[in-house]
Chain A
Amino acid sequence: MTRKELIVSALENGTVLDHIPAENVYRALDILGLKDINSQITIGINLNSKLYGKKGIIKIADKFFKDEELNKLALIAPKGTVNIIRDFQVVEKKKLEMPSEIEGIAKCMNPKCITNHQPVRTKFTVIEDNGEISLLCRYCEKKSDIRGIF
């Protein structure tokens, strides 16, 4: 048994988010709203990864997410993976999929956009162009570079 499998299976029941860029771990916690829950959460940052250099990992005990909730993470972790653990076993392993639309996360970078002045929930269409991801605001119709708005 490799050491990696040990880390993953150390959870009895829950969700393991793997291959998150190390610098985006805190944003991932934010996006999933994990800052205010009572479940046990284990966070690893700057773990060595053969494939990606430095990576981050988040393990949440006794919590399972809907796919559309997890897929929001694809914006900051396009190569992220999800492991569902039940009774110490990985029962499901899947890749994050880029959502076509996102709501309520990310701010519009246009300072004159209504969403930055009134209590309006942001809505964006996700645009992928040659591997570059940008968000098109439903309201002001401006494109925001993904790196600028998180």
Chain B
Amino acid sequence: MSKSLISIQDFSKEEILHVLETAKEFEQNRSQKILEGKVIACIFFEPSTRTRLSFETAVNRLGAKVIGFSDATNTSVSKGETLKDTIKMVSNYVDMIIMRHPLEGSSRYASEVASVPVVNAGDGANQHPSQTLLDLYSIMQTQGCLENLRINMVGDLKYGRTTHSLLQAMSHFNTEFVFTAPEELKMPVEYKDFLKKKGLTYTETTSLEEHLNDCDILYMTRVQQERFTDPMEYEKVKDVYRLDASMLDNVKENMKILHPLPRVGEIDQNVDDSPHAYYFKQAENGLYVRMAIIAYLLGYR
């Protein structure tokens, strides 16, 4: 069976480092037509801007052609076609499938049905491994390495899939974690147990100020309204953390602020010009990392 990327846990530490090294190469030379003659499907059953555009740009910059859709309403899916049939049909046409779907586990299922590699570009609230790899790349590029860093994760640690996958991936690198979240949105027990089993340490706090000055990476997240069933609960926590330029006076010199974007109110625009702000460059890094993922899975790197 061809190699797919569905969950960040599908990649070993060596594979992660290999993809990150390859991404560096693509950052230095961002047009390498190594996939000339290939066709790649980008099928998005759910809206997305950054992920879809950066995947499609990555395919184009590698010299392959893109087919696909960004909205399932004008496809056979609206006639009731099953995911299995859609994937079977598409995989007969192309060399790789990049997909996003609102249902959890849809990408794993697609990878079992498809005859070509599948890249998960987000399956509901479950996994989004290319985001995790670009987060790792951004950490590596700003800190020089991935080992022995202190990462402060802030915001919605309960529902935020990016923090969960990043935690799993960073557990290879002897990371010290700080979890900054309100009581209602604390890191779930299963992830804390995962760290304990790996012998890694973590600290929990509700105060953004407490570990602002002693972390290497400040990983901010948005409180996602769509994850709440009770609107009152959302109102209570939506503006709980607000990072402002005036709070950055005593942070470590190497400290960088990451955010998977889109942001709403958690980072004030006055932070954007600070040397610590890295989130726009982080989004750009997504391009190189996605080029590296595609090239690796197709056996070209």
Contacts and interface: CB of A to CB of B under 8 A. Distances in A.
Chain A interface mostly = loop
Contacts of B190: 143
A141 B126 CA distance: 7
Interface in B91-121: 101-106, 108-109
Residue with the highest number of chain A CB atoms closer than 10 Å, among B83, B84, B101, B105: B105
Given A112-B125, A140-B126, A119 B104 contact: no
B282 interface: no
Interface in B119-159: 123-127
Given A112-B103, A114-B105, A141 B127 contact: yes
A139 B110 CA distance: 10
A8 B298 CA distance: 60
Interface string A129-150: 0000000011111110000000
Contacts of B250: none
A137 B103 CA distance: 13
A139 B104 contact: yes
Contacts of A108: 105
B84 A118 contact: yes
Contacts of A113: 103-105
Contact of B109 (A110, A112, A120, A143): A120
A112 B124 CA distance: 8
A114 B7 contact: no
B74 interface: no
Interface residues of A, number: 17
A140 B82 contact: no
A81 to B, nearest CB: 34
A115 B82 contact: no
A50 interface: no
Nearest to B83: A118
A138 B109 CA distance: 9
Interface in B217-272: none
B120 to A, nearest CB: 11
B7 A141 contact: yes
Given A112-B103, A112-B104, A139 B109 contact: yes
Interface string A86-114: 00000000000000000000001010111
A112 B108 CA distance: 14
A12 B105 CA distance: 47
Given A112-B103, A113-B103, A139 B84 contact: no
Residue with the highest number of chain A CB atoms closer than 10 Å, among B101, B104, B109: B104
Contact of A139 (B82, B102, B108, B125): B108
B45 to A, nearest CB: 11
B82 A119 contact: yes
Contact of A137 (B101, B105, B124, B125): B105
19 contacts: A108-B105, A113-B103, A113-B104, A114-B101, A114-B108, A118-B82, A118-B103, A118-B109, A120-B84, A120-B109, A137-B105, A139-B105, A140-B104, A140-B105, A140-B124, A140-B126, A141-B7, A141-B104, A143-B190
User: 7 tightest CB-CB pairs across the interface, nearest first?
Assistant: A139-B105, A140-B104, A140-B105, A114-B105, A114-B103, A114-B106, A112-B104
